[in-house]
Homo-oligomer: A and B are copies of this chain.
């Protein structure tokens, strides 16, 4: 059996779950707490980060970038990167946009402060970070609206790694109740399409004891 080492609060590990889901691949999910040093896990991935994928033969693939590309190379149906080098470049640009820029601008100041920081036993959320995240998110939701003007998904009629990376991050911010969907109907429509996909089911079932999601988090019609 394939094993995915993950933690629900890590966007890269959420991406790996979404890619497995889109590809129709089963995996046993094992929870790792990356902020607690675990020597046996560090032997699998020296950075200590999730996701780490272990194939049935014991081969190990570590990190969101490596796992996404690897699964798309080995399990080609459906393709998640695009049909030609320039299309793949555009998918990779947007995957990095959500994985790096959105992360810094929105996920860390909002979900990082409200969820991860709390689970790690940190203090109250930093109100300046929350304010910054709540301002920044509008630019990103406008950008999603702009990208999906003539397409159902970010780069075309089918979701790619870029949509899944965006969904991995936005679903965490949505868990914290911090996505102003009502101000962004086009982004909401795109997210609704993504949320209805079978690959999203496992993410929508995430529930941390003592840290309940926003009431609409798992609703497909929100």
Identify the A interface with B (CB < 8 A): 45-47, 59, 61-67, 69-70, 73-74, 85-86, 88-90, 92-93, 95-97, 101, 143
Number of copies: 2
Cross-chain pairs A/B with CB under 8 angstroms, 16 sampled: A45-B93, A46-B97, A47-B97, A47-B101, A59-B86, A61-B89, A62-B89, A63-B96, A65-B92, A65-B95, A66-B88, A66-B90, A66-B92, A69-B89, A70-B86, A73-B88
With CB as the reference atom, state the residue of chain B lying closest to A64: B96
The A interface is mostly helix, strand or loop, or mixed, namely helix
A55 to chain B, nearest CB (A): 8
Cα of A85 to Cα of B73 in the assembled complex, Å:
7
Hey, which chain B residues are within 8 Å of A69, CB to CB?
A: 88-89, 92
Q: A69-B89, A70-B85, A70-B86 are in contact. List 8 more A-B contacts (CB 8 A).
A: A46-B97, A62-B93, A65-B92, A65-B95, A65-B96, A66-B90, A66-B93, A70-B88
Q: Which residue of B has the minimal Cβ distance to A47?
A: B101
Tell me the smallest distance from the CB of A90 to a CB of chain B, in Å: 8
A65 to chain B, nearest CB (A): 5
* A85 CA to B76 CA, complexed, in Å: 12
A48 to chain B, nearest CB (A): 9
Indicate if the CB atoms of B89 and A66 lie closer than 8 Å.
Answer: yes
Given contacts A63-B96, A65-B96, A96-B65, contact A70 B47 (CB under 8 A): no
